[in-house]
Amino acid sequence: MNKLHKVYNEFNTETELLNLIEKQDHQISFDTPLRPDAFELDDETKIELITKEFTSIMNILGLDLTDDSLKDTPTRVAKMYVKEIFSGLNPANKPDITLFKNKYSYNQMLVEKNIAVYSNCEHHFVPIVGKAHVAYISNGTVIGLSKLNRLVQYCSQRPQVQERLTVQIANELKEALGTEDVAIVIDANHHCVSSRGVKDTGSSTITAEYCGKFLEAGFKEEFLKHIAQ
């Protein structure tokens, strides 16, 4: 028996096998691209190394690092990268999720809209700024509302593309709640479009991820109606 037959025999149907492959491909495709050794250096070492490299960049640009306004900029940038705007790269910074039993048997969708999104484009390392709208339907537990904001923040604090960010938030929420019934819409402005290149300050980008019941027209329409109000 070859390896393919052994794998196939573990599943009842070809559909189950294809669903697993699709699920694995989906997860892999939307992981942030990281090297295997991404977390071998501690934060302080990363800050020290980035400070040196950013000093070189500023020197190449011809900036006077003896000026009191500029002399500490490399360290400030390094700390900002590691401790703030790219802190979501490290799984150790994933927020603890507080869940509660759904004792009141609330079985409608819960929607939290206008969650602030502050991320950075991985192509140019300039800001992506916008709003996320998040919804889920409880399967027996409910999440502390502030944890929705923290999940959005955690996924945002890494170099991103908006499509991946949207799916990562959905995946984190599904994992935390143990349900497929989640929906995410993000509406954001990209500074790589507004501050450089075409310099279009009037456009925004909308992405969405609908899962479980939100793939059904009725649930999707209700969600979109809520966030449009």
Q: Which residues are catalytic?
A: 121-124, 162, 190, 192
Beta strands at 99-101 and 159-160: parallel, antiparallel or unpaired: unpaired
Contact 120, 89 (CB under 8 A): no
Q: What are the angstrom distances between the C-alpha of 166 and each of 14, 65, 111?
A: 30, 39, 16
**C-beta separation of 133 from 184 below 8 A:** yes
DSSP codes joined into one string, 69-120: TTTTHHHHHHHIIIIIITGGGSGGGPPPPPEEE-TT---SEEEEEEEEEEEE
Task: For residue 62, give every residue at least 6 positions away whose Cβ sits within 8 Å of its Cβ, in sequence order, or none.
Answer: none
